[in-house]
Amino acid sequence: MRYLAAAARAALPLALFVALLTSCATAGSRPSTVAVFGVGVVQVEPDVVRMTISLSNTAPTTREAQAEVSAGVRQAREILLAAGVEERNIATAALWFSPEYEWLQAGGRRLVGQRVEQVISFSVASVGADGPASEIIDRLVGISGLSLQGMSFGVADTSELLHRARELAFQDALAKAEQYARLSGQRIARTLAVFEDAPAFHRQMPGAGAMRATAVEFAAVGDVGASLPAGEFEVSARVMVEFEMR
């Protein structure tokens, strides 16, 4: 794990604007204050990957299509459980039934059959380029009618990362305030107020995008073994702090 101090990052947008209020000459006036924004960023390697797969089949009847899809779902579930995925981390995200049509050159359409699609989501711990997620993909490729709809990397517990990001954000704000205090011939006396924006969590990966592969494309991956570099996961905190100067 490594921490990236906010001071080392690029300049923030104009919205991160600094308000400096100087004291008046008359006695009993409002104390001098400075209000600044601070940003703290923590970057770590992801430790969990979340995947979404779908299994679909078209048959003369909905019952037949559902039977094939259910067989594929059972097969996928056995693979996931054997790979150490906990039952509570496997869930059905959607289930669709719809008629399947073929469009005719002469115009109109012809009913081909009934289509059933079931979407399953699950999460795998211990992410690595050649870790459990790669092994799972290598085994899922053998299931007919299966597509990989999405994959995302993250961190199971972000509480410690968020605490560190807040510390960095406050330190960033304090460093800015101390600089403005020196420029105005004063010093920071105490903290008056702290306001926090909603924290941000996202993965740093060039060209990030949802993954979707058909069973044929999946099989091509399985021939050589899937490798899944996870990149970095980023947690950031943004605060506005008001200080009193004397």
Tens-binned pLDDT, residue by residue, of the chain (246 aa): 444 444 334 333 333 334 333 333 344 567 899 999 999 999 988 888 899 999 999 999 999 999 999 999 999 999 999 998 999 999 999 999 999 999 998 888 999 999 999 999 999 886 665 567 888 888 998 899 999 898 888 888 889 999 999 999 999 999 999 999 999 999 999 999 999 998 887 665 443 333 344 444 444 444 445 566 667 888 999 999 999 999
User: If you ran DSSP here, which 8-state letter would residue 53 be given?
Assistant: E
Q: What is the pTM assigned to this prediction?
A: 0.63
Q: Is 108 left (phi over 0), alpha (psi -120 to 50) or beta?
A: left
Residue ranges making up the domain that contains 87: 48-154
Domain assignment present for residue 174? The answer is yes
Give the relative orientation of helices 132-140 and 215-224 as an angle to the nearest 10 degrees.
130
Domain assignment present for residue 35? The answer is yes
**Total residues found in the chain within this entry:** 246
> What is the number of domains present in the chain?
2
C-alpha closest to that of 19 among 30, 32, 6, 9: 32
Regarding whether 68 and 35 lie in a shared domain, the answer is no
CATH code of the domain containing 71:
3.30.70.2970
